[in-house]
Chain A
Amino acid sequence: MATNIKPRVRMPATAKPGEIIEVKTLISHVMESGQRKDAAGKLIPRHIINKFTATFNGNEIMSVDWHPAISANPYQSFMVRATESGVFEFTWFDDDGAVYKSEHKVTVS
């Protein structure tokens, strides 16, 4: 399943100093809850993204631990502050050990 997983992030590329900007993120993922059964009545094993983090120039802004109650193709939006130009990095951690990253440069002027 790990082949077609693609993180998408929408945020402005430029901002005024101190401006509060909204980041919208979406990642395609089945988020298999571990509660469902397949046609043969066997439980489908849990396979979710269990953690999301947002950092700015390496400093953590926020992180979330996700549980199976998060919908498929998890959407997450939140606020960040543009204090200086730099790089926002968003990271998703999969149950199977895979890590998906997305980097976004923001220029503050």
Chain B
Amino acid sequence: MTIASDARSRRNFLKLSAVGAAALAFGVAPAAAATPEVDALISKFAEGKKVSEGRITLDLPSIAENGLVVPLNFEVESPMAADDYVKSVHFFADGNPNPQVADFTFTPMSPKAAAQLRIRLAKTQNVIALAVMSNGDVYSAKKEVKVTIGGCGG
């Protein structure tokens, strides 16, 4: 089992293992990160909080014919009220030369933490979404996209 944050203390490890086990029990693969670079970004944005599964709907094609334009839709479940909203949503692509894709900042003025955009993927890889709530909770989701033609010019 891999760990989504770099909090390596025994207690955190046990907590995360428990979360991972729960996720596995429901047949969901843990969205634990792939590369050290993405790991570092996740722990930076999660600010040491444990990363849970769920609440994010991440819509990406399973097979992208053209890595230059890959549509990405997402929605994070939240009431978007003044005291309970989605603060930020981050996207990482673990196989791109620069894994950062986009960092969204939402306010309670947004009725939904949802958006659509188009991204570049250099090769077949995982796209990881990380949502930070106003109370500090962190959720993540992951989706593998198979890319037929890479999108970094090369």
Interface residues of A (CB under 8 A from B): 20, 33, 35-37, 56, 59-72, 74-81
Chain B residues within 8 Å of A71, by CB: 68-70, 118-120, 151
A65-B103, A70-B120 as given contacts; A78 in contact with B115, CB under 8 Å: yes
Provide the bound-state CA to CA distance between A77 and B110, in Å: 12
A68-B98, A71-B69 as given contacts; A76 in contact with B103, CB under 8 Å: no
With an 8 A cutoff between CB atoms, is B12 at the interface?
no
The answer to whether B117 and A67 touch across the interface, beta carbons within 8 angstroms, is no
Chain A residues within 8 Å of B112, by CB: 20, 79
Number of A-B contacts (CB under 8 A): 97
Q: Closest CB of chain B to A6's CB: distance in Å?
A: 18
How many residues on B have C-beta within 8 angstroms of the other chain's C-beta atoms?
31
Provide the bound-state CA to CA distance between A78 and B114, in Å: 6
A81 in complex: contacting residue of B93, B96, B103, B109, CB < 8 Å = B109
B109 in complex: contacting residue of A56, A64, A76, CB < 8 Å = A56
12 example contacts (A-B, Cβ-Cβ < 8 A) are as follows A37-B153, A56-B109, A62-B110, A64-B117, A69-B93, A69-B121, A70-B102, A71-B68, A75-B116, A76-B116, A80-B109, A81-B109
Chain B residues within 8 Å of A60, by CB: 107, 109
A59 in complex: contacting residue of B68, B109, B151, CB < 8 Å = B109
With an 8 A cutoff between CB atoms, is B97 at the interface?
yes
